[in-house]
Amino acid sequence: MSGKVLTHRDGLITQRWEYGRLSQEAKNDHLPLRANDRDRSYLCDRKKTMRETMTAPLRTEITNYVQARKDAKLDKLQKDREAARKNAGTDLVAIEVLEASFAQASSALQERFEAANWLDDAANRAAQIKLVSHALKYTHSDAKGTSLKAAPQSVADGYLTSAQLADLQLDVVGNAAALDVANLLLLSADGKSLIARLLAEGDATALKPFAKDDAQLQRWVAGFTQALQLDGAASHRLAKQLYFPVGDNEYHLLGPLFATSLYHGLHGRISDARFGDTAKEARKASKQKQHHPAIVQDYPNLAVQTFGGSKPQNLSLLNSQRGGRAYLLCSRPPTWQSRLKPPASGEAFWGQYTDKVRELLAELRSFLVSVQDATSTLAIRDHRKTLVAALIGELHQLAASYQHLAPGWSSNTNLPLEMQCWLDLQRDDPAFLDERARRDWQAKVANRFALWLNNNLHHEKLQMGDVEHGEWSRLLRRELLLLREDLEVLA
């Protein structure tokens, strides 16, 4: 609801505009004002007042920032003065010269860090930096091509991109010596940074109290906005370049850039989940089996990539804030873990065992062929015994993998009964227990192993007739005895 009320009182025209609860009375004894003029003047004044009120916290941030930089310089100067004074000893002339020199330097710093003077210098140096969301220098620190700033958008296409970040934090590239200007432009209050106000709204209210006149204020605005004015697209010999064909002898030159703003958001989430106070408390509660409202988040198999070496600020401001470290999420395909499938028959079991010890079996066969005509020595016998013992060890490991399955699994297979007694130790049905009580299943399993080994050691150069078979049985007797003793322990 709005309305205009004109009243005549004591010869004065009183004009009141009403907008809901808001009203203003304007009186003029001499010059009558038109209603539209007075209304427009009121709205402009009110808008100006509201803008000044909203930017007051940002003005405070700017004042504190400049003051902090001045204090840091003065503190360093004071330390240098104290060190020089100490070195001067009792030389009064040297002390007098020293004090005069430092007084002059202090005065120069005070003048340099007057808000108007420092902002003048900062505006002149703003062209040395660029505010971007995608930076080139992560590819190579000496690359001179173009970096870019992604335009915000709200397209829900299923992809996570920099443009879809709710709070896009811009990175700064360029001259590392001008990063103090970048930090000024990124100062924010009430959710809006100085550079955002200058660029998006053309609002320089936060800077106006520091300017001597409007001309100086406009110079600052023009200077600071240069940080967002990117040059034309250009690649570089040190940049990544992809030539994408679009026709006969025609290509688009694609230049992949590092999504530094997107990555900074990811880095912040991972760091909070790993090192944040809330995350630490949640992990502590989890270890102590206690409840905690926060969710424990883990990022397994993280890798760390470093950028910039000992001077990460030479790449960008955000890289410096991250200490030059970049987390890389694990992108390896999942490792196939096959489920243990119980053997359905004795042939299936010995087939699995053959695949498991194929190389070891070939080594034993090759060794026996090489020493077939040699005189038996202790070294030969020891090496043969070592290889056979290794085969028996692999047999025990394979059997152990089945011995941990659910009791009774062997009842639905065609395994020989002695192998069921060996591989299904926890089975407890009466018929099975009776067979185990006979205590002859160990010898049967040992014989099956001997038969398997003889069959798999077949070679054209190994002529094993009855005599050789008996000799081979004698050579295996000790190993089979040890295997039988191991099996009896399981009974």
- Beta bridge pairs of residue 246: none
3-class secondary-structure state, position 12: strand
What is the reported pLDDT for 481?
60
- Beta bridge pairs of residue 24: 17
- In sequence order, the 6+-apart residues with CB closer than 8 A to the CB of 232 are 146
Whole-angstrom Cα distance, residue 452 to residue 483? 14
What is the reported pLDDT for 485?
64
What is the reported pLDDT for 245?
93
Query: pTM of the predicted model, to two decimals?
Result: 0.55
What 3 state SS string does 286-337 have?
HHCCCCCCCCCCCCCCCEEEECCCCCHHHCCHHHHHCCCEEEECCCCCCCCC
Pull the structure tokens for residue 404.
Answer: 């941990």
What is the reported pLDDT for 177?
84
C-alpha distances (whole Å) from 240 to each of 144, 255, 256, 257 are 12, 6, 6, 8
Q: Which helix (H) or strand (E) holds 244?
A: strand 242-247
Q: How do strand 22-26 and strand 12-19 relate by DSSP bridges?
A: antiparallel
Q: Could you tell me the mean pLDDT of each successive run of 10 residues in the chain, 491 residues long? A: 39 36 39 49 47 69 88 88 80 80 87 89 88 88 83 70 78 86 82 70 78 87 81 82 90 90 90 91 91 90 90 88 90 78 90 91 86 82 84 87 87 88 83 75 80 79 54 52 59 53
Pull the structure tokens for residue 423.
Answer: 């591989």
Closest CA to 415 of 423, 407, 425: 423
Query: Could you count the other beta carbons within 10 Å of the beta carbon of residue 276?
Result: 15
Q: Which helix (H) or strand (E) holds 6?
A: strand 2-9
Tokens 């010596």 appear where? 177
Pull the structure tokens for residue 312.
Answer: 């990460």
Rg (the chain; Cα; Å)? 42
3-class secondary-structure state, position 448: helix
Whole-angstrom Cα distance, residue 326 to residue 312? 11
Give the length of the chain: 491
343-369 pLDDT, tens per residue?
A: 999 999 999 999 999 999 889 888 888
For the chain, the first-to-last Cα distance in angstroms comes to: 97
State the angle between helix axes of 378-403 and 358-370 in degrees (0 to 180), rounded to the nearest 10. 160
Inter-residue long-range contacts of 146-150, CB under 8 Å, 24+ positions, other chains counted: 146/230, 146/231, 146/232, 146/233, 146/234, 146/235, 146/255, 147/173, 147/230, 147/257, 148/230, 148/257, 149/228, 149/230, 150/261
Spatial contact of 384 and 315, defined as CB atoms under 8 Å apart: no
What is the reported pLDDT for 280?
92
3-class secondary-structure state, position 188: strand
What is the reported pLDDT for 199?
62
Phi-psi region of 2 (alpha: psi -120 to 50; beta: other; left: phi over 0): beta
Pull the structure tokens for residue 472.
Answer: 């081979």
28-77 pLDDT, tens per residue?
A: 444 444 545 555 544 445 445 545 555 678 888 888 888 998 899 888 88
Closest CA to 117 of 224, 220, 226, 221: 220
